Structure 1
Amino acid sequence: MRFISLLALILLVSACGRINHIGKPPDFTPPAKSPERVAMIASGIPDAAPLGRRTEAASLWSGGQTSLLGDRRAIKRGDIMTVVIEIDESAEISNSTDRSRSGSESLEIPQLFGIPQRINQGITDGASLDNAVDLGSSSKSNGSGSVKRSETLTLRIAATITDVLPNGILAIEGIQEVRVNFEMRELLVSGYVRPEDISRQNEITYDKIASARISYGGRGQISDMQQPRIGQQVLDVVLPF
Structure 2
Amino acid sequence: MRILLALTWLAWLGACTSIEQPRPDFADDDLPPIATAPAAGRSGGVFNAVTAWSLASDGRAYRPGDTLTVTLEETTQASKRADTKFGKNGDMAVKPGVLFGSTVPFDSSFGAKRNFDGGGSSSQQNTLRGEITVIVNQVLAGGLLQVKGEKVLSLNQGEEVMRLSGYVRQADIDTNNRVSSRRIANARIKYVGKGALSDSNSAGWLTRFFNSPWMPF
TM-score normalised by the chain length of structure 1 = 0.59
Structure 1 residues 161, 107: CA separation in 2 closer, same or farther (over 3 Å shift)?
A: farther
Match of 2:85 among 93, 98, 111: 98
Report sequence identity in percent.
25
Cα shift at 1:83: 0.9
Are positions 1:35 and 2:58 aligned together?
no
Aligned match of 1:77: 64
Task: For 1:65 and 1:119, locate their aligned partners in 2 and report how far apart those are by CA, in whole Å.
Answer: 118
Structure with the greater alpha carbon radius of gyration? 1
More divergent stretch after superposition (211-220 vs 227-236): 227-236
SS in 2 for 1:73: coil
| Alignment-derived partner of residue 240 in structure 1 | 216
Contact 2:73 2:182 (8 Å CA) reproduced: no
Per the alignment, residue 181 of structure 1 pairs with 156
Number of residue equivalences: 194
Could you say what secondary structure the match of 1:224 adopts? helix
Q: Which residue of 2 aligns with 1:195?
A: 170
Unaligned runs of 5+ in 1: 18-28, 58-63, 111-115
Task: Give the residue type in structure 2 aligned to 1:183.
Answer: G
**Which structure shows the higher strand fraction?**
2
Distance 1:86 1:107, change over 3 A: same
Is residue 2:87 matched to residue 1:87?
no
Following superposition, which runs of at least 4 residues in structure 1 exceed 6 angstroms of deviation?
105-108
Deviates most, 95-104 or 231-240: 231-240
Shift of 1:189: 1.0
Moved more, 158-167 or 227-236: 227-236
Once the two structures are TM-superposed, the CA of residue 75 in structure 1 deviates from its matched residue by 2.0
Q: Contact between 1:65 and 1:72, CA under 8 Å: does it hold in 2?
A: no
Deviations 1:146-177 (A, max 9, x none): 33333332110011122333454322211001
**Residues 147-166 of structure 1: pairs in structure 2 closer than 5 A:** 147-166=122-141
